């Protein structure tokens, strides 16, 4: 069984947020829900200033605090390491959202599904179809595009990234590209001090 993870190459990310759009398109996430995005940070002082772009996503932590605090067991980890939320069990208590140190969870509200994202406010056929997968009042997060992964494909953000700054692969397979990059370039995890053991790594 693979153990899926992702690597972000910070040298390659240009902050175009094509990944953000690809994710929204793939998953039909409603207004104000971004399962992945790229934030930026100003580094240095004038006149030697530059901007770094940092992609963020659910880290599918091995020891996920969101799963630990979930009172209903709606949050669970699949055998391949993908952390999921069962929308039929979630009560929308928000405990997982507060417990995620990376703030990578979103609570859905009915009004997010009542209005379309286009100016007219009408739901498009795409939105009508896509919103059917969500349950208002529950909590959602990135799923590593589990349907695509199950079909042998890579997550939408990965195939869309024009600079190949996102590398998806089996962290237990020594010959996977993700694993090799982590080893060769000393990949590090976000907020590693919390011992959540993220399956997302960054390399510089």
Residues at the contact surface with ligand SF4, assessed by CB under 6 A = 58-61, 64-66, 69-72, 74-75, 83, 85, 90-96, 100, 102, 104-105, 138-139, 141, 196
* Closest CB 137 distance from another protein, rounded Å: 3
In sign, the C-alpha dihedral spanning 74, 78, 79, 82 is negative
- Displacement of CA 57 from its chain's centroid (Å): 3
- Give dist(CA 7, CA 189) in Å, integer: 9
For another protein, the closer CB: 71 or 162? 71
- Give dist(CA 163, CA 27) in Å, integer: 22
Residues in the chain: 204
For another protein, the closer CB: 157 or 170? 157
In contact, 59 and 41? CB cutoff 8 Å: no
Q: CB under 5 to 8 A by kind: which of another protein, ligand SF4, none does 132 bind?
A: none
Q: CB under 5 to 8 A by kind: which of ligand SF4, another protein, none does 64 bind?
A: ligand SF4
Q: Per-residue string for binding with another protein, 81-120, x by CB under 8 A?
A: --------xxxxxxx-xxxxxxx-x-xxx-----------
In contact, 104 and 151? CB cutoff 8 Å: no
Q: CB under 5 to 8 A by kind: which of another protein, ligand SF4, none does 40 bind?
A: another protein
């Amino acid at each position: 069984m693979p153990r899926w993870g992702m690597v972000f190459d910070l040298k390659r990310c240009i902050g175009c947020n094509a990944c953000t759009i690809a994710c929204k398109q793939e998953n039909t996430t409603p207004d104000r829900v971004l399962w992945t995005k790229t934030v930026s940070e100003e580094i240095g002082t004038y006149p030697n200033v530059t901007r770094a772009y940092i992609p963020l996503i659910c880290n599918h932590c091995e020891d996920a605090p969101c799963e630990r605090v979930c009172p209903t067991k709606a949050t669970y980890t699949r055998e391949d390491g993908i952390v999921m939320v069962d929308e039929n069990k979630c009560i929308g208590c928000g405990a997982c959202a507060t417990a995620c140190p990376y703030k990578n969870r979103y609570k859905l509200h009915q009004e997010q599904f009542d209005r379309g994202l286009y100016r007219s406010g009408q739901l498009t056929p795409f939105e009508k179809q896509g919103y059917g997968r969500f349950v208002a009042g529950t909590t959602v997060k990135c799923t590593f595009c589990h349907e695509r992964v199950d079909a042998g494909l890579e997550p939408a953000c990965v195939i869309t990234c024009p600079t190949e700054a996102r590398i998806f692969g089996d962290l237990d397979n020594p010959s996977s590209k993700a694993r090799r990059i982590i080893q060769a370039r000393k990949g590090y995890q976000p907020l590693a001090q919390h011992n959540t053991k993220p399956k997302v790594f960054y390399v510089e």
